[in-house]
Structure formats: structure tokens, C-alpha cells
Amino acid sequence: MSIRLTVDEAWEAVESAHTGILTTLRRDGMPIALPVWFVVDDRSVALMTPAGTKKIARIRHDPRASFLVESGEQYAELRGVHLTGRVEAVEDATATSRIEAAVQEKYAAFRPPADSLPAAAQAYYAKQAFLRFVPEGRILTWDNARLVMK
């Protein structure tokens, strides 16, 4: 029995995940993996990030990246999807509005009100950049619940 998910099951797992791990590359090739909030948009991963973050500079230099979602604590519950691809800036106003609305809807219950943040934090988050992770190639998946434990 295979523990692999179908492509549709993989995208359902990504879409239902709360937090993803986006890995980008420093100039020296060292990977940097960071948690991100995201939404699925037409079988790509869309996200917002403060415009001044280092991840923006890393992506401009080298757009190659990976994206991971996982869940489960017990061995038989472990499930994950790992995507490799490229990250691109999203600048189209219609697309950025759609992404922002979807991110706000998904995470509204998890954010503090913006006006409750210190002034420096409000300024940091005021200007957002929009990114899209576009998968390329094979999707790596696993769902240990599919194992027949003997």
C-alpha cells in the first residue's frame, strides 16, 4: 500500500493547513526556512509579507524555493506535502486584492487588531508585498495513516 497522496489530495492538504514553511536561499546558497501564513490560489501558494523583509531580497536574487505543510503527532498520523518551485512577486492589483482578501479571511481570528500593536510594528506591517510560490515538478507527499500496521 502506498502512503502517497494524489495530486488533488495533496492540494486539499495544503489548502487545509494553517501554517506553511517557505524555504528560500541566501546568496551563499544556505537555505532559510520560515513559517508563513498563506492561501492556495489556483494550485499555487499565495502570501503576503512585510515589504522590507529579507525573504524579498532572497527571492529577487534566487527565486528557487520549497514549501512544506505537515500535520500529525503520532507516527500513524504524520501527513505532509512538500513542493519545490519558484517564488514570484505579484503586482497585479486584481490579484493582490484577491490574495489579501483571502489571507485576511483565513487568518482574521488569529491576528491581533492592527491598532493594538506598537507603533513600530504597525509601521513594519503597513506596506505589504505579495508573493506567489509556483510549484514545478514532482510533489512529494506522505500519509502514514495509509500504512497497514501489523
- The domain tally of the chain equals 1
Is the pLDDT at 1 greater than 70, yes or no? Answer: no
Q: Read off the pLDDT band of 112 (50, 70, 90).
A: confident
Q: Read off the pLDDT band of 63 (50, 70, 90).
A: very high
Provide the residue range defining the domain that includes 96: 7-146
Is 1 within a domain? no
pLDDT (average), residues 72-86 = 95
Q: How far apart are alpha carbons 132 and 45 in whole angstroms?
A: 6
Q: How far apart are alpha carbons 51 and 36 in whole angstroms?
A: 14
Is 100 within a domain? yes
Is 64 within a domain? yes
pLDDT of residue 114: 79
Q: Of all residues in the chain, what percent carry a pLDDT higher than 90?
A: 83
Nearest to 85 by CA among 62, 56, 102: 62
Is 43 within a domain? yes
What pTM did the predictor assign?
Answer: 0.92
Phi-psi region of 29 (alpha: psi -120 to 50; beta: other; left: phi over 0): left
Query: What CATH number does residue 140 fall under?
Result: 2.30.110.10
Give the CA-trace dihedral at 41, 133, 59, 83, to 10 degrees: 160
Is 115 within a domain? yes
